[in-house]
């Protein structure tokens, strides 16, 4: 067993270790130093452009001059050693411009890294000097995140998630880990079509435009910032729009005529404060869509590093229609905080190859009230390292919504247009969500129910914490009578499920949700009174029905306190010989079991006395824990490996 890293602290609702670096996303628009960019030779910009490359570091930006858009040079200054690291798939971390680690935590040497320094930023990049090989990177990039650029394409590259969710390597992402899949890799057996800003840490924008709340300039520098409306109206593939520090009031939209491409994404980038928190704050408007950032059938756009306040939606990303060939593609939502929305801080519909990573959604309202909602038959989605809490409805929801996408559109539930597997048909499959990766999230203290996995198939849910909703916990189910639309053929492994409400399930598996594998999970029923945590014999650990009770695989799970229930007259689930039944609960089995809303997932980490250590089989699909610690057989159950 290894010592667990608890380097990542979630404080004051901000994932500080996450926001200090951005997703392969800590892309920075060159040095935040207008003089440096302007001093170099022009890069083909034309009149009005100030793009240039200088030894002092950073790309210049072309602005919005009439003579054309400068390409901006690649910074040669401020190069940081990104932390040599061998990653899960091998390959060295390489050089990172901005101190980004080249690979996954847990295998590399954990050596120190000097960070990327320029006129405005100096931070510890990659593995910090005190980090160990078992932990994730500490503060990466640092400060406002304005230095020479993102990390280079470290590691072996071509990391993949195949049909069995093989490990990842190369690249850079929040937490100092690799993105879930790197550019050109495989994802569930498909060539990835994700946003390059997320998958390719060597990517640099072809042009950069700066905006400010009261900007009237041409956007060539922070001191000559344009208005948001002007910049978005002129946005082109490959461009980064930098929202300089300040409070913006309004709703901003990109449509199908203003999108990026697989090779050249558009990036909306919010500057950071010195502590890594968002310095660009958007107060959503109260008219129209009431959406801070609305992506209406706009492909390959990344939204990175904003605080989104109020309105109906923080980020809304939707396609043009329900048929698969009308879905939006390639949105990446990274390092954002959304709160106070009447509906959902983060919402998608008909959006394929979507990533949401290192985001926080909280205090959503009664209009819909989810923290993150992925809807309308979206496929090939990734949700990693996010936090939700105090949501008026299900904290995290995937709902393909066949009642709307199929039935309301005149498509029968049994029609392949509704129930086909994603990728098997040009237009079909609108009634289910396939090939979703839900990893290392912290969904907790919902004011209603926990996560909904509705008509979710062929997906992986691993290393998550689903804790203490006010009603029932996670549900795997569907809304139709077509067995093919059940939540089926999923791997649910190394998660922690905690229910605190009597006769409300921690996990529900019903309505023809079959052929799932539940392995190495910890499921706990507790009662909380003040600061006291005790067992809850009336907490329902698992509910099944006649269609599911014998149609799923359960292995090496720990069932703690509580009981097993049924949604109909069928007998309840009876645990297998490989599983552990633990009738009591001792809060000292957890590092610091929270009795109120807290923001540190490490509070749920096991201690030396925890009775589910060294109990499970090593799964090739889950080689590391939520902190990047490499698992060793026999593995600890749940999301943490000691």
The confidence band for 47, taking pLDDT boundaries of 50, 70 and 90, is: very low
Rounded to the nearest integer, the mean pLDDT of the chain is 80
Is 402 within 8 Å of 431 (Cβ atoms)?
yes
Residues 18 and 132 in one domain: yes
Residues 248 and 213 in one domain: yes
| pLDDT per position as a tens digit, 282-301 | 999 999 999 999 999 999 99
Residues 166 and 209 in one domain: no
| pLDDT per position as a tens digit, 321-349 | 999 999 999 999 999 999 999 999 999 99
The pLDDT of residue 178 is: 84
Residues 19 and 152 in one domain: yes
Residues 519 and 611 in one domain: yes
The pLDDT of residue 173 is: 52
Q: Is residue 633 part of a domain?
A: no
Q: Which residue has the higher pLDDT, 251 or 112?
A: 251
Residues 222 and 119 in one domain: no
- At residue 568, does pLDDT exceed 90? yes
- At residue 320, does pLDDT exceed 50? yes
- Number of neighbouring beta carbons within 10 Å of residue 392: 21
- At residue 193, does pLDDT exceed 90? yes
Preceding peptide of 480 cis, ω within 30°: no
Q: Is residue 376 part of a domain?
A: no
Which residues touch 441 (CB under 8 Å, ≥6 apart)?
Answer: 383, 384, 385, 386, 387, 388, 396, 464, 465
End-to-end, the C-alpha distance of the chain in Å comes to 6
| Domain interval for residue 280 | 205-359
Q: Is residue 365 part of a domain?
A: no
| pLDDT per position as a tens digit, 456-510 | 999 999 999 999 999 999 999 999 999 999 999 999 999 999 999 999 999 999 9
Structure tokens at 584: 């009591």
- At residue 123, does pLDDT exceed 60? no
Q: Which residue has the higher pLDDT, 43 or 523?
A: 523
Residues 433 and 558 in one domain: yes
Mean pLDDT of 553-579: 98
- At residue 95, does pLDDT exceed 70? no
343 DSSP assignment = S
The pLDDT of residue 155 is: 33
606 DSSP assignment = B
Structure tokens at 274: 């010195």
Q: Is the dihedral of CA 409, 414, 415, 417 positive or negative?
A: positive
Structure tokens at 43: 């890069």
Q: Is residue 642 part of a domain?
A: no
For the chain, how many structural domains are there in total? 3
**Residue located via tokens 């971390």:** 93
**Residue located via tokens 């948001």:** 228
The pLDDT of residue 141 is: 33
- At residue 73, does pLDDT exceed 70? no
- At residue 117, does pLDDT exceed 90? no
- At residue 68, does pLDDT exceed 70? no
Mean pLDDT of 526-539: 98
Residues 344 and 241 in one domain: yes
The pLDDT of residue 432 is: 98
d(CA 230, CA 470): 45
Cα–Cα distances in Å, from 3 out to 470, 493, 605, 636, 638? Answer: 33, 21, 11, 12, 16
Residues above pLDDT 70, as percent of the chain? 72
Residues 521 and 615 in one domain: yes
Pairing label, strands 14-15, 10-11: antiparallel
Mean pLDDT of 262-286: 97
Is 539 within 8 Å of 565 (Cβ atoms)?
no
Q: Which residue has the higher pLDDT, 50 or 300?
A: 300
- At residue 127, does pLDDT exceed 80? no
Q: Is residue 634 part of a domain?
A: no
| pLDDT per position as a tens digit, 139-182 | 333 332 322 233 333 333 334 443 333 332 333 554 456 899 99
| pLDDT per position as a tens digit, 209-226 | 999 999 999 999 999 999
Q: Is residue 369 part of a domain?
A: no
For 216: left if phi > 0, alpha if psi spans -120 to 50, otherwise beta; the answer is alpha
């Amino acid at each position: 067993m290894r010592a667990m890293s608890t380097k990542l602290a979630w404080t004051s609702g901000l994932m500080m270790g996450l926001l200090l670096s951005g997703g392969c996303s800590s892309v920075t628009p060159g040095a935040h130093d207008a003089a440096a960019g302007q001093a170099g030779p022009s890069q083909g910009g034309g009149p009005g452009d100030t793009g240039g490359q200088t030894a002092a570091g950073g790309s210049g930006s072309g602005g919005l001059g009439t003579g054309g858009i400068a390409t901006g040079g690649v910074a040669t200054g401020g190069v940081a050693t990104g932390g040599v690291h061998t990653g899960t798939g091998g390959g060295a971390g390489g050089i990172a411009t901005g101190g980004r680690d080249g690979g996954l935590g847990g295998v590399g040497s954990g050596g120190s890294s000097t960070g990327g320094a320029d006129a405005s930023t100096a931070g510890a990049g990659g593995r910090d000097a005190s980090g160990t090989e078992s932990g994730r990177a500490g503060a990466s990039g640092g400060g406002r995140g304005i230095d020479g650029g993102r990390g280079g394409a470290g590691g072996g590259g071509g990391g993949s998630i195949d049909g069995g969710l093989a490990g990842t390597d190369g690249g850079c992402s929040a937490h100092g880990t690799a993105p879930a899949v790197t550019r050109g890799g495989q994802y569930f057996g498909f060539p990835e079509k994700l946003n390059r800003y997320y998958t390719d840490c060597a990517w640099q924008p072809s042009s950069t435009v700066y905006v400010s709340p009261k900007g009237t300039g041409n956007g060539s520098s922070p001191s000559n910032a344009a208005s948001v409306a002007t910049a978005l109206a002129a946005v082109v593939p490959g461009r980064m729009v930098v929202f300089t520090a300040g409070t913006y009031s309004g709703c901003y939209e990109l449509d199908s005529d203003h999108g990026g491409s697989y090779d050249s994404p558009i990036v909306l980038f919010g500057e950071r404060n010195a502590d890594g928190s968002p310095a660009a704050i958007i107060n959503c408007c109260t008219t129209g869509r009431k959406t801070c950032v609305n992506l209406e059938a706009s492909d390959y756009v990344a939204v990175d590093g904003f605080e989104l306040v109020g309105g109906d939606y923080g980020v809304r990303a939707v396609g043009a229609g329900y048929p698969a060939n009308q879905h939006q593609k390639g949105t990446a939502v990274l390092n954002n905080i959304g709160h106070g929305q009447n509906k959902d801080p983060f919402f998608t519909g008909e959006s394929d190859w979507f990533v949401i990573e290192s985001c926080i959604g909280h205090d959503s309202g009664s209009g819909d009230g989810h923290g993150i909602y992925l809807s309308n038959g979206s496929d090939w989605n990734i949700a990693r390292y996010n936090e939700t809490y105090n949501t008026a409805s299900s904290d995290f929801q995937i709902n393909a919504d066949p009642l709307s996408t199929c039935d309301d559109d005149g498509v029968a539930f049994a029609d392949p247009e509704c129930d086909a597997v994603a990728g098997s048909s040009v237009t079909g499959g609108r009634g289910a969500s396939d090939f979703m990766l839900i990893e290392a999230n912290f969904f907790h203290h919902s004011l209603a129910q926990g996560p909904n996995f509705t008509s979710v198939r062929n997906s992986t849910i691993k290393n998550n914490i689903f804790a203490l909703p006010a009603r029932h916990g996670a549900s795997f189910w569907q809304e139709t009578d077509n067995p093919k639309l059940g939540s089926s053929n999923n791997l649910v492994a190394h998660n922690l499920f905690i229910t605190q409400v009597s006769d409300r399930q921690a996990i529900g598996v019903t309505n023809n949700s079959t052929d799932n594998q539940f392995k190495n999970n910890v499921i706990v029923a507790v009662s909380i009174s003040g600061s006291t945590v005790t067992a809850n014999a009336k907490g329902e650990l698992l509910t099944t029905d006649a269609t599911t009770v014998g149609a799923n695989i359960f292995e090496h799970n720990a069932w703690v306190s509580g009981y097993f229930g049924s949604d109909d007259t069928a007998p309840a689930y009876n645990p297998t010989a490989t599983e552990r039944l633990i009738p009591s609960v001792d809060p000292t089995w957890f590092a610091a079991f929270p009795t109120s809303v807290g923001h540190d997932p490490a509070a749920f980490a096991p201690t030396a006395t925890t009775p589910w250590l060294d109990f499970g089989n090593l799964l090739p699909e889950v080689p590391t824990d939520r902190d990047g610690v490499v698992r060793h057989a026999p593995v600890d159950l749940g999301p943490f490996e000691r």
